[in-house]
């Protein structure tokens, strides 16, 4: 797996292992899926995703419990995990990645602008909390880069 392009490494590794991936995005608004599908061959392993920008879509399409949102807010580790598990089940994939957070401008439901949660579910489960700066675009791009980089590192360290 090459380290120059983590997205390419992800796609090549998943192809070599016969594994699949789906994503659930909130604050990244489709940017994570876009970044991954720029890689030739991604259609062999990237099955799809859900852009769940609202709580209603998180509940209806991903099976996130309304009680989880009510207790922890959408900007939480718990919601990120339920999003990833929901999309993994929906698409019956080996792996799933979710992103949720506050891109800004401004804070949301008590969470500071730049607060991000990323969850990865599959043979290895991991969550990542970030606080990013850089305005709306910088926060979104940082979340996408962090999700891709973290997942690539998990794939490197996890032998199928």
Question: Phi-psi region for residue 135, left (φ > 0), alpha (ψ -120 to 50) or beta?
Answer: left
Segments of the chain assigned E as strands? 21-25, 46-51, 95-101, 115-121, 126-131
**pLDDT score of 136:** 95
Instruction: For 42-85, write each residue's pLDDT tens digit.
Output: 999 999 999 999 999 999 999 999 999 999 999 999 999 999 99
Q: Which contacts qualify for 34-40: CB closer than 8 Å, 24 or more apart?
A: 35/7, 35/144, 35/148, 36/7, 36/10, 36/11, 36/148, 38/7, 39/5, 39/7, 39/8, 39/10, 39/11
In a domain, 1, yes or no: no
**pLDDT score of 160:** 60
Over residues 134-145, the mean pLDDT reads: 96
pLDDT of 2 strictly over 80 = no
Would you give the DSSP letter of residue 59? H
Would you give the DSSP letter of residue 44? G
Instruction: Quote the domain boundaries for residue 151.
Output: 6-157
**pLDDT score of 146:** 98
CATH of the domain at 147: 3.90.950.20
Q: How far apart are CA 129 and CA 16, in angstroms?
A: 30
As beta bridge partners, residue 129 has 117
The percentage of residues in the chain with a pLDDT greater than 90, rounded to a whole number, is 94
**pLDDT score of 48:** 98
pLDDT of 112 strictly over 90 = yes
**pLDDT score of 3:** 47
CB atoms within 10 A of CB 30: 15
Over residues 124-141, the mean pLDDT reads: 96
pLDDT of 139 strictly over 70 = yes
In a domain, 113, yes or no: yes
Domain count, the chain: 1
Mean model confidence pLDDT for the chain: 95
**pLDDT score of 93:** 98
């Amino acid at each position: 797996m090459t380290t120059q392009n983590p997205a390419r490494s992800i796609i090549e590794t998943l192809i070599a292992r016969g594994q699949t991936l789906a994503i659930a995005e909130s604050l990244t608004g489709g940017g994570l899926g876009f970044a991954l599908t720029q890689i030739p061959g991604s259609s062999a392993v990237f099955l799809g995703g859900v852009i769940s920008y609202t709580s209603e879509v998180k509940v209806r399409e991903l099976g996130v419990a309304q009680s989880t949102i009510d207790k922890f807010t959408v900007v939480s580790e718990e919601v990120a995990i339920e999003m990833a598990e929901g999309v993994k089940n929906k698409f019956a994939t080996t792996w799933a990645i979710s992103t949720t957070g506050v891109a800004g401008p401004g804070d949301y439901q008590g969470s500071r602008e730049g607060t991000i949660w990323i969850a990865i579910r599959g043979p290895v489960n991991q969550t990542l909390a970030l606080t990013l700066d850089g305005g709306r675009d910088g926060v979104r791009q940082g979340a996408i880069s962090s999700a891709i980089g973290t997942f690539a590192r998990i794939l490197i360290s996890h032998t199928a």
